[in-house]
Amino acid sequence: MTRLVYLCYDTLLGLAWVVGLPLCLLFGLVKPRLARKALSLSTWGLPELPPPTRPRVLVHGVSVGEVKASQSLVRALRERYEVVVSAFSDTGLQVARQLYPDLVVVRFPIDFLPLVQRFWRRVRPHQVLLMELEAWPCFLREANRHGAPVSIVSGRITERSFARYRLFGALPQFERISLFAVQDETYAERFATLTGSRARIVVTGNVKVDGLRLGPAPRDERFHELARLAGGAPGQRVLVAGSTHEPEERLVLDAFRAADPTARIVLVPRHPDRADALEQSLADARPQRLSRLRAGEVPDPTRPLLVDTIGELERVYALADIVFVGGSLVPHGGQNMLEPAAQAKPVLYGPHTGNFVQETTLLERAGAARRVRDAAALTVAVRELVQDPAEARRLGERAVLAVERQRGATESTLRALAERVTLCL
């Protein structure tokens, strides 16, 4: 039965690749970026790494959040191992290259067997650490064939993903994974249900917390340049909306303006490649773009700023007086609200935070964040914090304390890896 399931899976993925790649290359004549991505996902341009002089560990994060979450683990591992970092999304790759300029960073392939086999021939890892989940059937099968243990670290599985895996239980064959080092007991129980056992599951905490810098971003040259371009005029309040999704930018812009018409408003979309479309949809507000300010356009703090570049969010949060975290006014599941919380910022988010239940529970129990039901409620919440700066300050203080108390997951994860898959440190 399992062989039949794999045969169907491989056939469907193969057909999708055979049909999809030429189409992407054809559309790539108009949008070259699409063609480059399709070729990259097909392992085109993947370098063949030289034989390692010490054990090689592949650390994989699907996109920005997972890549950033890996920082504390990568720092610890690289003292003894050759670390290679992989990502699936374009933004994940960009952030990985910014965070790890001296490490090899590669694109994770489409889960089509010939492409996965080529990836393994060229990268040749001895161990694989998958951030949060990201388990693909062909990749796991090939890892087992090469004798490379695969571990889920900082593991989590949302209710939606849990239901989907229960429906398609034959794949990705979780028995091929050596260790599940998970964030909390809820996730442990879900993985236990899927695997049929608690034997390979350890609750180690959320390593993302250890990778966060507590307190404000460093006041370095990049910060001062950003403050000059993106910050407000002297005495002007700065309201930041981070990791927003369509159509949140318009909703948040209107809510911010209604709450504080004089504020400097900064919008940071989750996907900067939406900047052209956003500029058109917000044309009545005459937004400025960070890339153009860097090219010489004069900053105007009375106009909203659209951050259309990668890797700016931590420093943008440092400029903020109040932060709204996106992906939450729309049914996306939210984005990482611990980043601004770690900088002692008062944090707001909408009702849709299903991908960050642990994080929102932590902050809300500490009285360190506010959930709003819609854009109108966001206006009310921002106005209240504007009128009561002492309460805004208290929210931020509680937030950074709540984050600080969660530290230690990296050490627990490394201990579990040492005990269960002989990853020595």
pLDDT for 245-254, tens place per residue? 999 999 999 9
Q: Indicate the burial class of 229 (C-beta count within 10 angstroms; 0-12, 13-18, 19 or more).
A: middle
- Only one residue has tokens 């990853």, namely 423
Average pLDDT over residues 300-304: 96
| pLDDT of the residue at 43 | 94
**Cα Rg of the chain (Å, integer):** 22
For the chain, how far is it from start to end, CA to CA, in angstroms?
40
How high does pLDDT run on average in the chain? Answer: 93
Q: ∠265-266-271 over CA atoms, to 5°? A: 145
Six-digit token string for 255: 């809510």
> Are 140 and 150 within 8 A, CB to CB?
yes
pLDDT at 228: 94
Average pLDDT score over residue span 336-361: 95
Secondary structure letter of residue 31 according to DSSP: -
66 is catalytic: yes
Residue 425 has pLDDT above 60, yes or no: no
Q: Determine phi and psi for 62, rounding to 5 degrees.
A: -65, -40
Query: In the prediction, which pLDDT does 169 show?
Result: 67
pLDDT at 408 over 90: yes
What average pLDDT score do residues 265-277 get? 95
pLDDT value at residue 1: 60
The pLDDT value given to residue 383: 98
d(CA 353, CA 337): 10
Summarised one tens digit per residue, pLDDT across range 104-145 is: 999 999 999 999 999 999 999 999 999 998 889 999 999 999
For the residues 408-419, what does the mean pLDDT come to? 94
Q: Of 152-166, 297-311, 396-410, which range is least confident?
A: 152-166
pLDDT at 182 over 90: yes
User: At CA 85, angle to CA 82 and CA 87, rounded to 5?
Assistant: 165
Q: State the average pLDDT over residues 23-50.
A: 91
Q: Which amino acid is at 174?
A: F
pLDDT of residue 407: 93
Residue 244 has pLDDT above 60, yes or no: yes
Spacing of C-alpha 336 from chain mean position: 7
Which of 48, 66, 189, 314 is catalytic? The answer is 66
**Whole-angstrom distance, CA of residue 278 vs CA of residue 74:** 35
- Vertex 40 angle, CA 36 and 46, to 5°: 130
pLDDT score of 170: 64
Q: Give one word for 223, left, alpha or beta, with left for phi > 0 and alpha for psi -120 to 50.
A: alpha
Residue 214: which of 307, 132, 317 has the closest Cα?
Answer: 317
What gap in Å lies between CA 208 and CA 4, rounded to an integer?
Answer: 38
Looking at residue 108, its pLDDT comes to 97
Query: How many other C-beta atoms lie within 10 A of the C-beta of residue 70?
Result: 28
Cis previous bond, 172, omega within 30:
yes
CA distance linking residue 5 with residue 155, whole number of Å: 26
Residue 421 Cα distances to 78, 152, 228, angstroms: 17, 12, 49
Question: In whole angstroms, how far apart are CA 238 and each of 123, 161, 232, 318?
Answer: 45, 37, 6, 10
Query: Is the confidence at residue 424, as pLDDT, over 60?
Result: no
- Asked if residues 67 and 92 have their Cβ atoms less than 8 Å apart, the reply is yes
What mean pLDDT comes out for the span 206-213? Answer: 90
Distances (CA, A) of 76 to 79, 80, 265: 6, 8, 38
User: Does 420 score more than 60 pLDDT?
Assistant: yes
Sheet holding 369-371, edge to edge: 288-289, 305-306, 264-269, 238-244, 322-325, 347-349, 369-371
Return the percent helix, strand and coil in the chain, to nearest 5. Answer: 50, 15, 35
H/E element holding 3?
helix 2-27
- Tell me if 86 sits within 8 A of 105, measured CB to CB: yes
Paired with 324 in beta bridges are 241, 348
Q: pTM value?
A: 0.89
Give the phi and the psi of residue 236 in degrees, each rounded to 5: -85, 135
Give the tens place of pLDDT for each residue, 372-390: 999 999 999 999 999 999 9
Here the tokens at position 289 are 């773009």
